[in-house]
């Protein structure tokens, strides 16, 4: 097909036939470096009432956090660079990059919290550093052993050589406080057994910020949230260990509890004025996240808190995420780390993973449901790598999320968790089809979009126009775990209050 064979520069990797667990521990190198492991990107027109002129961009990092993760919990890496990128002219390269840097400092000027320990009879006592992350309610920062702060820089143009300016609070400050992770209900004084105190505490860190070159203030939140991704992850990576009668029966969506129900995540969330992220008359914006570390690391043989290692050299990208699930189940193991170090403009190197996807063949082998026979898979290219003409195509052919900011948001409670998939009938875009929700994935991605189910169906040929090329295209594949908008808050930052490390009842 012409659309595939002409791809030479910005290319094709992605989501092509795939589906199954957003990018948690997806590449060998990141299993060693979870603090810089990007897990999910959400990019959508804000549907909080009164915020229709904004878009929300959320990038999650540090996967599979067990809530009771003391004593250190889940601070981000002060030696890393976390970046959220936007392409607003359709050339597959970043035009706006928000760079997040973190600083973790011991309290009390570097001494940490110490307690006087010694005899009770008036003898000399010695101040000894405590082993706990907090010695009281973290809302009082004097009770925290480590103070975590961050700064954000906006770079216009190339992420390394473009014009860089700091993001500021209304008072001009460029340093922001990251809320302490939810250690547990006792720490935050939730005597009623609920989580309201932590919710109020964390909401206090939703920042109003000024974006250089933008006259309208934005909002920002950085902190721990409840894991938002839903997937039947165990059976999927056990050769899709589920009965065909379950995963092809639409009434069974939601039959299985989300395997990630008891995990937290760390979110970097921005709510940005649409007028400040679009360019000219172009309303379609591409988005992806990355994380980078210094090229060289020397371990300190006499490690201290401030200097367990010495980092130096150029920033080197080790994590990349745009469309969900790409590196997890599309890219071959031998190329997973290569993909994480690559840039959208260079995606042609991964072309075979998209044009000849392996997942449909595996499903055919396991369930005797015939995979599509049309190669190369141009349907996947149009849906996930170029955007859909008339909806979110922006002239590029790269793997990242594309959002048409001109399309109105669908209010919470009315969103179709199959996103824009219902806008297609026999492979033809049909905006009048009942259930059509063009504000949903793959036109950006909202928290409630069930991307696993969408991508399973698309991989098996849902977007192809006839049963000759895709005999199983109308089989309603799903993973038996339901994702929908009522599982999230209806206001920024949308992902829910994190789960507590301890509930106060012994659990």
Distance CA(498)–CA(278), nearest Å, equals 32
Question: What does each of the 507 residues of the chain score in pLDDT, given as a tens digit?
Answer: 333 333 333 332 333 333 334 566 666 677 788 999 999 999 999 999 999 999 999 999 999 999 999 999 999 999 999 999 999 999 999 999 999 999 999 999 998 999 999 988 878 989 999 999 999 999 999 999 999 999 999 999 999 999 999 999 999 999 999 999 999 999 999 867 789 999 999 999 999 999 999 999 999 999 999 999 988 877 777 777 778 888 889 999 999 999 889 999 999 999 999 999 999 999 999 999 999 999 999 999 999 988 999 999 999 999 999 988 777 777 788 888 888 888 999 888 887 888 888 889 888 888 888 999 999 988 877 777 888 888 899 999 889 999 999 999 999 999 999 999 889 888 888 989 999 999 999 999 999 999 999 988 988 999 888 888 999 999 998 989 999 999 999 999 999 999 999 987 666
DSSP summary character for residue 75 = P
Tokens representing 281 are 């008359």
Distance CA(129)–CA(45), nearest Å, equals 47
Give the pLDDT score at 505: 67
Give the pLDDT score at 22: 57
Buried b (16+ CB within 10 A) or exposed e, 354-388: bbebbbbebbbeebebbbbebebbbbbbbbbbbbb
Give the pLDDT score at 242: 79
Give the pLDDT score at 25: 67
Name residues whose C-beta falls within 8 Å of residue 61's C-beta, 6 or more positions apart in sequence. 35, 36, 37, 38, 39, 76, 82, 265, 266, 268, 291, 319
- DSSP states of 311-332: EEEEEEEEEEESSTTHHHHTS-
Distance CA(94)–CA(445), nearest Å, equals 19
Per-domain boundaries in the chain: 2-116+127-487
Distance CA(452)–CA(456), nearest Å, equals 6
Give the pLDDT score at 7: 34
What does the pLDDT look like over 320-339, one tens digit per residue? Answer: 999 887 777 777 888 888 88
What does the pLDDT look like over 161-193, one tens digit per residue? Answer: 999 999 999 999 999 999 999 999 999 998 677
pTM: 0.93
């Amino acid at each position: 097909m012409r659309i595939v064979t002409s791809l030479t520069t910005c290319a094709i990797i992605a989501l092509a036939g795939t589906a199954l667990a957003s990018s948690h521990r997806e590449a060998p190198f990141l299993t060693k470096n979870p603090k810089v492991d990007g897990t999910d990107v959400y990019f959508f027109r804000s549907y909080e009432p009164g915020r229709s002129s904004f878009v929300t961009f959320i990038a999650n990092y540090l996967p599979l956090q067990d809530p009771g993760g003391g004593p250190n919990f889940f601070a981000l890496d002060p030696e890393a660079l976390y970046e959220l990128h936007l392409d607003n002219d359709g050339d597959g390269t970043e035009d706006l990059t928000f760079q997040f840097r973190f600083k973790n400092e011991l309290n009390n000027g570097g001494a940490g919290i110490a307690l006087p320990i010694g005899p009770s009879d008036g003898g000399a006592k010695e101040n000894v550093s405590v082993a706990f992350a907090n010695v009281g309610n973290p809302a009082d920062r004097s009770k925290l052993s480590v103070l975590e702060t961050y700064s954000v820089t906006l770079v216009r143009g190339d992420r390394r050589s473009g014009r860089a300016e700091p993001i500021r609070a209304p008072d001009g400050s460029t340093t922001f406080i990251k809320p302490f992770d939810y250690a547990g209900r006792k720490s935050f004084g939730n005597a009623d057994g609920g989580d309201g105190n932590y919710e109020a505490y964390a909401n206090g860190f939703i920042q109003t910020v000024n974006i250089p070159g933008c006259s309208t203030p934005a909002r920002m939140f950085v902190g721990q949230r409840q894991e938002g991704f839903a997937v039947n992850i165990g059976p999927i990576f056990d050769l899709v260990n589920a009965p065909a009668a379950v995963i092809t029966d639409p009434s069974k969506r939601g039959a299985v509890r989300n395997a990630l129900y008891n995990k937290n995540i760390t979110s970097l969330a921005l709510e940005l004025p649409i007028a400040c992220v679009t360019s000219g008359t172009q309303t379609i914006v591409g988005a992806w996240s990355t994380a980078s570390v210094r090229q060289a690391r020397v371990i300190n043989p006499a490690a201290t808190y401030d200097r367990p290692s010495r980092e130096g050299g150029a920033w080197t990208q080790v994590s990349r995420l745009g469309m969900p699930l790409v590196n997890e189940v599309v890219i071959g193991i031998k190329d997973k780390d290569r993909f994480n170090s690559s840039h959208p403009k260079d995606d042609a190197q991964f072309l075979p993973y998209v044009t000849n996807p392996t997942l449909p063949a595996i499903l055919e082998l396991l369930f005797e449901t015939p995979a599509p026979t049309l190669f190369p898979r141009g349907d996947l290219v149009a849906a996930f790598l170029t955007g859909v003409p008339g909806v979110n195509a922006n002239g590029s052919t790269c793997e990242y999320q594309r959002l048409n900011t001109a399309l109105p948001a669908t209010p919470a409670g009315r969103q179709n968790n199959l996103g824009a998939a219902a806008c297609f009938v026999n492979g033809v875009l049909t905006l009048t089809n009942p259930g059509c929700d063009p504000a949903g994935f793959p036109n950006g991605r909202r928290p409630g979009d069930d991307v696993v189910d969408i991508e399973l169906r698309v991989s098996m040929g849902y977007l192809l126009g006839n049963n000759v090329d895709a005999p199983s295209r109308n089989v309603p594949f799903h993973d038996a775990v339901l994702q929908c908008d009522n599982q999230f808050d209806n206001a920024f930052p949308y992902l829910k209050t994190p789960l507590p490390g301890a509930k106060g009842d012994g659990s």
